[in-house]
Amino acid sequence: DRHPAPQQQPDPNKKTLVVLGTGWGSVSLLKKLDTENYNVIVISPRNFFLFTPLLPSCTTGTIEHRSIMEPIRAILSRKKTSVQFFEAEASSIDPDRKVVKIFDDSEIKGKISETEVPYDMLVVGVGSETATFGIQGVNEHSCFLKEIGDAQRIRKKIMDCVETAAFKDQSPEEIDRLLHMVVVGGGPTGVEFAAELQDFFEEDIKNLIPEFSHHFHVTLIEALPNVLPSFSKQLIEYTESTLKEQTIDIKTKTVVKKVTDRTVEAQCSLPSGSKETIVLTYGLLVWAAGNAVRPLVKDLMSKIPAQKDSRRGLAVNEYLVVQGTRDVWALGDCAVAGYAPTAQVAAQEGAFLAKLFNNMAKTESVEEEIQNLSSSLNVKPGVNAAETSQTIEQLEQQLKRVRDAKPFHYSHQGSLAYIGSEKAVADVSWWNGNIAAGGKLTYLFWRSAYLSMCFSTRNRFLVINDWLKSKTFGRDVSRE
């Protein structure tokens, strides 16, 4: 149903539930939440949901960026009761006054671009930012891969490097530098991006500019002894050998220490135990070194004494309540609940909170009903006392069931990653065991799994269309 409920004034009899963010956690919560129970307000600088698993494919044009975006207004329009959305960034949360400060960070600003939003209940689902560890030059010179804008920037830069390398009279050394693409971080983001990049070169750029065949080069740098550390040993070995076959240079046990506009300085641990410093020149540098806590979350943590020992985000209890607060919940990458920062975890946490909030609203209405019935039993002589007492008993049982809400339990479905040349790896939970698989069949599984997880039928249609288009006509190499 695409007809949004008409905008209503906040109902003074309902609690105001403010949800920060429109990512995996918050959107999963909003999908399942019975919005008629609360005055719901959603605040996010991004007025769309982003299907991050296919973001690496947008950097090369295998998939067009709009195919993996779903407008939040379309999502909210399917809710029974209207939900307010403010495109704004939350700059601070005051848990004592129960208000969130927000500001409009977009290009066009109205007379009011900063204000406060009071809440009765708050859900923090603002995700994380990319970790730079304060390493010199990273912010200034590298591209991250977190948001749509990052993928667009990378796509533009790849083609800028290629066209600059093709500039008249460019020296072979400069062509080598411009076509050297360095990826820092051998987690799933770095591996999937490196794989997409090599595919782009092999399947498109090489055919269009054959003289670049021996110049294009991808290097993947990882501090740990292997890439994809969260996968099983067998799949790590398969991934590393597949990447090497594709001529991707993997430098493990290598820690980047400094970045300039043209060079990456790193320290490698040699088998002898000694350390060696290497300097690589590059044309494009993509930094995928993991997650860091957002300033908003750091600021909130500093206001709550119970959070003083938490480093990776807001420590939450088994009901996702932020430790040391009342009426504040956190989910996804910004919450520390003992799970990996993945979309899978965030989505399950969102669904859990929706159920919890639906139950809380039900509890309140049942409590109210019991109270009304009990008072009618005492004061109204005409009521059928036996019948009313029975109803109260039934309601109390219902209340007990609702109150016995189980704590959050994460169910791991498995991990998937694309590793290039139409191959993927999968560590999938199956019955009570685990299946580890890699190769072309796994790639088909990877595609169908992500397709089924896409947000909407529209997204699914667009993604299939993009896959067919790039396979049939090649990726679009125009630099926008």
According to CB under 6 A, which one of 291, 325, 442, 459 is a site residue for ligand NAD?
291
- Least CB distance from residue 344 to ligand NAD, whole Å? 8
Q: Which token pair is 177?
A: 């530098």
How far apart CA 61 and CA 55 sit, in angstroms, is 10
The answer to whether 423 and 438 are in contact (CB under 8 A) is yes
Residue 341 binding ligand NAD, by CB under 6 A: yes
Q: Which is nearer to ligand NAD, 98 or 217 (CB)?
A: 217
Q: Which is nearer to ligand FAD, 117 or 264 (CB)?
A: 117
CA 294 to chain centre: 13
* 296 contact, one of ligand FAD, ligand NAD, none, CB 5-8 Å limit per kind: ligand FAD
Residue 279 binding ligand NAD, by CB under 6 A: no
Supply the DSSP symbol for 248.
P
Site for ligand NAD in 214-253 (CB under 6 A): 221-224, 229-230
For residues 166-184, b (16+ Cβ closer than 10 Å) or e, as one string? Answer: eeeeeeeeebbbbbbbbbb
Residue 189 binding ligand NAD, by CB under 6 A: yes
Chain residue at closest Cβ approach to ligand NAD: 187
How far apart CA 27 and CA 40 sit, in angstroms, is 13
According to CB under 6 A, which one of 41, 334, 417, 419 is a site residue for ligand NAD?
417
- Least CB distance from residue 126 to ligand FAD, whole Å? 4
How far apart CA 317 and CA 336 sit, in angstroms, is 9
Residue 416 binding ligand NAD, by CB under 6 A: yes
Tell me the C-alpha to C-alpha distance, in Å, between residue 418 and each of 150, 199, 243, 480: 19, 11, 11, 26
- For 363, left (φ over 0), alpha (ψ -120 to 50), or beta? alpha
* 414 contact, one of ligand FAD, ligand NAD, none, CB 5-8 Å limit per kind: none
- Least CB distance from residue 417 to ligand NAD, whole Å? 4
Scanning 119-127, 188-196, 314-322, 428-436 for contacts with ligand NAD by CB under 6 A, the matching segment is 188-196
How far apart CA 72 and CA 263 sit, in angstroms, is 40
Q: Which is nearer to ligand FAD, 56 or 420 (CB)?
A: 56
Q: Which token pair is 181?
A: 């693409």
Contact letters for ligand NAD, residues 46-75 (x by CB under 6 A): -------x----------------------
Residue 364: partners with Cβ closer than 8 Å, 6 or more residues away: none
The answer to whether 53 and 450 are in contact (CB under 8 A) is yes
Q: Which is nearer to ligand FAD, 142 or 189 (CB)?
A: 189
Total of residues contacting ligand NAD (CB under 6 A)? 28
Q: Which is nearer to ligand FAD, 26 or 62 (CB)?
A: 26
According to CB under 6 A, which one of 415, 442, 459, 470 is a site residue for ligand NAD?
415
- Say whether 479 sits in a helix, a strand or coil: coil
Interface with ligand FAD (CB under 6 A): 20-26, 43-46, 52-53, 55-56, 89-90, 125-127, 145-146, 189, 294, 296, 332-334, 341-344, 346
* Location of structure tokens 């090599």: 198
According to CB under 6 A, which one of 50, 289, 293, 426 is a site residue for ligand NAD?
289
The answer to whether 60 and 200 are in contact (CB under 8 A) is yes
* 229 contact, one of ligand NAD, ligand FAD, none, CB 5-8 Å limit per kind: ligand NAD
Amino acid at 112: I
Phi, psi dihedral angles at 313 (to 5 degrees):
150, -165
- Least CB distance from residue 44 to ligand NAD, whole Å? 19
The answer to whether 313 and 304 are in contact (CB under 8 A) is no
Which residues does residue 421 pair with via DSSP β-bridges, in sequence order?
none
- The residue among 332, 343, 338, 302 whose CA lies nearest residue 318 is 338
According to CB under 6 A, which one of 17, 182, 288, 334 is a site residue for ligand NAD?
288
According to CB under 6 A, which one of 198, 342, 348, 470 is a site residue for ligand NAD?
342
Site for ligand NAD in 157-186 (CB under 6 A): 184-186
* 313 contact, one of ligand FAD, ligand NAD, none, CB 5-8 Å limit per kind: none
End-to-end CA distance of the chain: 36
Q: Which is nearer to ligand NAD, 63 or 416 (CB)?
A: 416
* 175 contact, one of ligand FAD, ligand NAD, none, CB 5-8 Å limit per kind: none
Supply the DSSP symbol for 11.
P
Residue 313 binding ligand NAD, by CB under 6 A: no
* 187 contact, one of ligand NAD, ligand FAD, none, CB 5-8 Å limit per kind: ligand NAD
Q: What are the DSSP calls for 152-213, one per residue?
A: HHHHHHHHHHHHHHTSTT--HHHHHHHTEEEEE--SHHHHHHHHHHHHHIIIIIHHH-GGGT
Which residues does residue 322 pair with via DSSP β-bridges, in sequence order?
316
Binding stretches for ligand NAD (CB under 6 A): 53, 135, 184-190, 192, 221-224, 229-230, 255-256, 288-291, 340-342, 415-417
